Each structure stands twice: as C-alpha cells, then as structure tokens.
Amino acid sequence: MSKTDDPHPTQLVSLPEPRTTYVDRHVTVNRAPTDESVKLLREMEAKAAAQVIQAVRVDNTIFSCVVHQSLDELSDRMRWRAVFKLNGHKMQAEVDCDPRDGDVPTFQTLRDEVAKVIARQVLGEAFAASLREKFRR
C-alpha cells in the first residue's frame, strides 16, 4: 500500500497558541450597619439638628405648622422652611435668601409661599374631583 492509498490520511491542524485570560469582577456586598456607621449617622443627625437656628410652632385643630430657619452652608444662603399639616395633609414651603445682600424675607414672604402650596393642594384636589365627576357621566 502506498501513501496515497491510505484510507485515513494524516492532516496537520494548526492550534492557536494558549494564552492567559484575566476576568475582573466588581462585587457589591451589602452589609448590616456596624456600630461605627451607626455612630456616624447619629453624629450627622445631631449636626443637622444643631443647624436649625430658630423654630416657631403654630397649632390649632385644623392647621399645625413649624417654621425652621437654617443656614445652607453649600450655597451660603439662609433657608426658611415651613412644614405644616392642613386637614391631615403634610406639606412644606421654602424661601431662600442671601443675608449678605440684605435680602431677608419677611414672614409675609413665607406666608405667601405657604398660601401657594395650599392653593396647589386644595385646587388640585378640587379640579381632579370635578374631572372625575365629568367623566363618570
């Protein structure tokens, strides 16, 4: 038998060179808060509470309100925030000013902002109710 008559001829196959492959994975592990992180959280809460310069409280049976005055150190602006509850709905209004410019809002400015928030809430509910009624027919 000759080489050309071989029923199973030998074929040379070229294989790619072996190479090392690296896989980079980033894994996020959610851990329970440690005593150190809880301590840091408490310190941050205490610092935020100390930042409130003044608080005024208004209460009666249908309206309750707390007004906070604080300094926003990032923007260097004075912030007045009224957090209030009207008929069980919690809302808030804010007014910012730059105390260096003599731009100090009066309580009338904050009152007007509270009135806008209340109007949006009350009128929004009234308009929504009228639209629901209109489309029920």
User: What is the tens place of the pLDDT at every residue in 103-130?
Assistant: 666 678 889 999 999 988 878 877 887 7
- Rounded to an integer, the average pLDDT of 25-31 is 72
Give the residue, 64 or 32, on which the prediction is more confident.
Answer: 64
Pick the residue with more confidence: 1 or 78?
Answer: 78
What integer best gives the mean pLDDT of the chain? 79
User: What are 66-92's pLDDT values in tens digits?
Assistant: 999 888 888 888 888 999 988 788 999
In the block, residue with structure tokens 């310069």? 53
Residue 101 identity? D
- Tell me 61's DSSP state: S
Provide the residue type at 57 as one letter.
R
Q: For residue 65, count other CB atoms closer than 10 A to its CB.
A: 18
SS3 38: helix
- Between residues 81 and 136, which one has the greater pLDDT? 81
Q: Is 45 helix (H, G, I), strand (E, B) or coil?
A: helix
